[in-house]
Amino acid sequence: MTPARRSFTASLRRVLPYARSVIPRLGFGLAAAVCAALLGLAIPQALRWIVNDTLTGGGERRLWLGVAVVAALGIGEAALIVTRRRTLVGPGTRLESDLRVLLFSHLSDLPLSVHGRYSGGQLLSRTISDVRRFRRWLIFGLSQTCVNAITIVAGVVLILWIDWVLGLVYLVGSVPALALSFRARGRYAVLSRRAQDQAGDLAATVEEAVHGIRVLKAFGRERDALDGFTERAGALRRTELGKAGQRAVMTFAVTGVPDILLAALLFAGLHEISTGDLTVGGLLAIFTLTAVMGGPLERLSEQFAVSMEAKTALDRFLELLDHRRGIADPAQPRPVPDGRGQVVFDRVSFSYDGTQPLLRDVDLVIEPGETLALVGLTGSGKSAIGQLIPRFWEASAGAVRIDGVDVRELRRHDLRRLVAVAFEEPVLFSASVRANVTLGAPEATDEELWEALEIAHADFVRELPDGLDTRIGEEGMSLSGGQRQRLSLARAILCRPRVLVLDDPLSALDVHTEAAVSRRLRTRLAGTTTLLIAGRLSSIALADRVAVLHGGRIVATGTHDDLAAGSAVYRSIVYGEPHAAARPAPTVVGT
Ligand SMILES: Nc1ncnc2c1ncn2[C@@H]1O[C@H](COP(=O)(O)OP(=O)(O)OP(=O)(O)O)[C@@H](O)[C@H]1O
Ligand SMILES: [Mg+2]
């Protein structure tokens, strides 16, 4: 069932397992809230008793006693309200943070295909605002709703008990109010989901504009970004206005209608007094009761709205949680095999979206310690081959094996220790250089760290103001593209993996630096099996062997010299020579 279709209670049941530890305190807080409400309702009863007693000449001592009882009830109510707050805040905030951590860890386990479906802004608004909204409702909204509902039901019962005629008048008069607010509630629910989705889109617009600020500036498109933002902000505003309209209807239903009801109650009450069926104290108690119920009635409509928003928030949260985690650990994982990192692609087929085949029957062996360069036209699926080794994606047929073991039979944790990847687009975090480079090897010593930096030709770190402790801005924006690539390369090297996948991580370097880095990689990482996806001859020439990917298959392998002499496809890819088979890429393999 999709979360939107699920009832609120069903959604709540879904988060129950995570809320188990806070339920006892939640229950206690709820009980305190209900007791406080009941004490509040007892006050009109005491008033009724005092007034009737005084009118019938009960004496000064009994009057004082009555006043003391009312005061005691008031103090009791206040104490219980404080207790409720104190018991609920702790567990509520703990649950909020638990849910956030849960979602965050789930997000990092989701397959890349699911990540592609949500914008950063949506993920952000769901992890932050939606979780907070749900927590607020759980702590305050839920107890308030219960208390108010109980206050109203108990109030009606008391009125019926004091005088059933007035009780009936009150009940019958409430029917239109209920009908009106029920209808408004349904409309509000729809608008509420829309508003929360639009708020997520708005956050996405900000996120993308900030992310792409350089591009926007470069093309003078800041104005367009602003227009897009204004439009989305306007759409959100219109939805919020619609919500306010429905909220007004709900408020009118629960405050306006009962006010009209008061006149009817007064009329009927005076009649009941004249016939002797009701005392003056009784009428006073009924009016005090309606006053006591007035607040809860008004708040109840507000809380309906808040509950709707909490349901939407919870559904948006659960929608993400309902996505199945990506690649799971095998039920019976194989131990990490001994070996020096032989990688075998055995008739591997692959498609990103499950329909358009990108790779078909790829056979490729990278011998232990070998550096194999993979060349192919842009979009031919080189990155796909690189990402199949650490199992970022799943092959649709065939198998990828490391030292004889299918990567699907290894624990993800073990696999990630065997294979390290450096991407063309380096991702750095706003943290120190050290934290960024030691991401995959937190226990590395400074000596090892410097060695990795040196191999990656990233000695520029020495010149940074605080060396290894220099904080690099968000996504390493304070560094040049080539500097970022080299840090990301050092990060992969530092893991000392058995298999290193280098997905064009030197593309931003000049030819000389690239050749120097490649040379160092070859000599210093002689024992590491390396798949080097590279476009430039200077890097390719340094590899032990080269494999050519074309039309979804490996069409040739050999040394650079062999291929340059014998493969027209190879020549056309690396030298740009015209060749019929290598015209801009038929990446989709025909059937
Ligand atoms: N996440 C994805 N979902 C769907 N299709 C994708 C995805 N990533 C890439 N593709 C498509 O798959 C094809 C191969 O992409 P891939 O990144 O493997 O090529 P590549 O050989 O590495 O290209 P380049 O040299 O430009 O880096 C491209 O046509 C691309 O549009
Ligand atoms: Mg690529």
Write the CATH number for 512.
3.40.50.300
Residue 451 lies in a domain: no
Read off the amino acid at residue 343.
V
Mean pLDDT of 123-134: 88
**Helix H or strand E encompassing 349:** strand 343-350
* Lookup: tokens for 68: 């003391």
Read off the amino acid at residue 272.
E
Question: Smallest Cα–Cα separation from 536: which of 500, 565, 575?
Answer: 575
pLDDT of amino acid 61: 78
179 with 303, same domain: the answer is: yes
CA dist., res. 496 & res. 56, Å (int): 94
* CA-CA-CA-CA dihedral for 153, 155, 157, 161, to nearest 10: 180
Q: What is the Å distance from ligand 2's center to 341 Cα? A: 23
- What CATH number should be reported for the domain holding residue 306? 1.20.1560.10
* CA-CA-CA-CA dihedral for 520, 524, 529, 533, to nearest 10: -10
Chain segment 132-154, per-residue pLDDT in tens: 999 988 888 888 888 888 888 88
Q: What is the Å distance from ligand 1's center to 568 Cα? A: 24
Residue 80 lies in a domain: yes
Per residue, the 3-state secondary structure of 430-467, as one string, reads CCEHHHHHHHHCCCCCHHHHHHHHHHCCCHHHHHCCCH
Residues 6+ apart with CB under 8 A from 353: 113
* Lookup: tokens for 364: 């490729």
Residue 75 lies in a domain: yes
Query: Residue 362: phi, psi to the nearest 5?
Result: -80, 125
Angle in degrees, CA 219, 221, 223, rounded to 5: 155
Contact between 389 and 498 under an 8 Å Cβ cutoff? The reply is no
The helix/strand/coil state of 419 is strand
The answer, yes or no, to whether any atom of ligand 1 lies below 6 A from the CB of 447, is no
Residues 6+ apart with CB under 8 A from 550: 376, 377, 380, 569, 573, 581, 582, 585
Structural domains of the chain, count: 2
Read off the amino acid at residue 246.
Q
Model confidence band, residue 57 (pLDDT cutoffs 50, 70, 90): confident
116 with 151, same domain: the answer is: yes
Say if residue 331's pLDDT is above 50.
Answer: yes
The answer, yes or no, to whether any atom of ligand 1 lies below 6 A from the CB of 358, is yes
Provide the 10 A C-beta neighbour count for residue 419.
26
301 with 399, same domain: the answer is: no
228 with 374, same domain: the answer is: no
358 with 290, same domain: the answer is: no
Q: What is the Å distance from ligand 1's center to 481 Cα? A: 21
pLDDT of amino acid 507: 81
pLDDT of amino acid 589: 42
Model confidence band, residue 3 (pLDDT cutoffs 50, 70, 90): low
Residue 489 lies in a domain: no
Q: What is the Å distance from ligand 1's center to 383 Cα? A: 7
pLDDT of amino acid 5: 66
Residue 334 lies in a domain: no
Question: Smallest Cα–Cα separation from 106: which of 15, 227, 169, 170?
Answer: 15
User: Which residues pair with residue 346 across a beta bridge?
Assistant: 399
pLDDT of amino acid 453: 93
Mean pLDDT of all residues in the chain?
Answer: 85
Residues in the chain, how many? 591
271 with 306, same domain: the answer is: yes
281 with 421, same domain: the answer is: no
Q: What is the Å distance from ligand 1's center to 206 Cα? A: 27
Q: What is the Å distance from ligand 2's center to 201 Cα? A: 29
Say if residue 44's pLDDT is above 80.
Answer: no
Say if residue 590's pLDDT is above 80.
Answer: no
The answer, yes or no, to whether any atom of ligand 1 lies below 6 A from the CB of 433, is no
Q: What is the Å distance from ligand 1's center to 386 Cα? A: 11
* Lookup: tokens for 111: 């397959």
* Lookup: tokens for 583: 């015209």
Model confidence band, residue 346 (pLDDT cutoffs 50, 70, 90): very high
CA dist., res. 584 & res. 591, Å (int): 19
Least confident among 206-220, 235-249, 352-366, 563-577 = 206-220
If you ran DSSP here, which 8-state letter would residue 472 be given?
A: P
Distances (CA, A) of 420 to 248, 493, 568: 58, 8, 33
354 with 217, same domain: the answer is: no
Say if residue 45's pLDDT is above 90.
Answer: no
CA dist., res. 208 & res. 206, Å (int): 6
Contact between 41 and 154 under an 8 Å Cβ cutoff? The reply is yes
* Lookup: tokens for 122: 């949506």
Least confident among 140-149, 467-476, 562-571 = 467-476
Residue 277 lies in a domain: yes
The answer, yes or no, to whether any atom of ligand 1 lies below 6 A from the CB of 290, is no
The answer, yes or no, to whether any atom of ligand 1 lies below 6 A from the CB of 381, is yes
Model confidence band, residue 526 (pLDDT cutoffs 50, 70, 90): confident
284 with 364, same domain: the answer is: no
CA dist., res. 236 & res. 475, Å (int): 30
If you ran DSSP here, which 8-state letter would residue 410 be given?
A: B
The answer, yes or no, to whether any atom of ligand 1 lies below 6 A from the CB of 523, is no
Residues 6+ apart with CB under 8 A from 130: 196, 312, 313, 314, 316, 317
| Residue with CA nearest ligand 1 atom 18 | 381
Chain segment 67-117, per-residue pLDDT in tens: 888 888 889 988 988 888 888 888 888 889 999 998 888 888 887 778 878
The answer, yes or no, to whether any atom of ligand 1 lies below 6 A from the CB of 379, is yes
Domain's final residue, options 322, 351, 373: 322
The answer, yes or no, to whether any atom of ligand 1 lies below 6 A from the CB of 352, is yes
348 with 254, same domain: the answer is: no
Closest-lying ligand 1 atom to the alpha carbon of residue 384:
18
What is the pairing mode between strands 529-533 and 371-376?
A: parallel
Residue 441 lies in a domain: no
| Residue with CA nearest ligand 1 atom 25 | 378
The answer, yes or no, to whether any atom of ligand 1 lies below 6 A from the CB of 90, is no
Distances (CA, A) of 303 to 144, 146, 172, 241: 8, 10, 23, 18
Read off the amino acid at residue 429.
F
The answer, yes or no, to whether any atom of ligand 1 lies below 6 A from the CB of 382, is yes
| Residue with CA nearest ligand 1 atom 22 | 383
Say if residue 586's pLDDT is above 70.
Answer: no
The range of the structural domain enclosing residue 67 comes to 8-322
* Lookup: tokens for 238: 């219109």
262 with 380, same domain: the answer is: no
355 with 316, same domain: the answer is: no
| Residue with CA nearest ligand 1 atom 17 | 383
The answer, yes or no, to whether any atom of ligand 1 lies below 6 A from the CB of 357, is no
pLDDT of amino acid 1: 53
Provide the 10 A C-beta neighbour count for residue 23.
12
Question: Smallest Cα–Cα separation from 409: which of 335, 343, 462, 477?
Answer: 335
| Residue with CA nearest ligand 1 atom 30 | 379
Least confident among 297-306, 346-355, 364-373, 439-448 = 297-306
Residue 115 lies in a domain: yes
Question: Smallest Cα–Cα separation from 505: which of 494, 517, 519, 523?
Answer: 517
Mean pLDDT of 556-580: 85
Distances (CA, A) of 89 to 17, 29, 30: 19, 9, 12
The answer, yes or no, to whether any atom of ligand 1 lies below 6 A from the CB of 87, is no
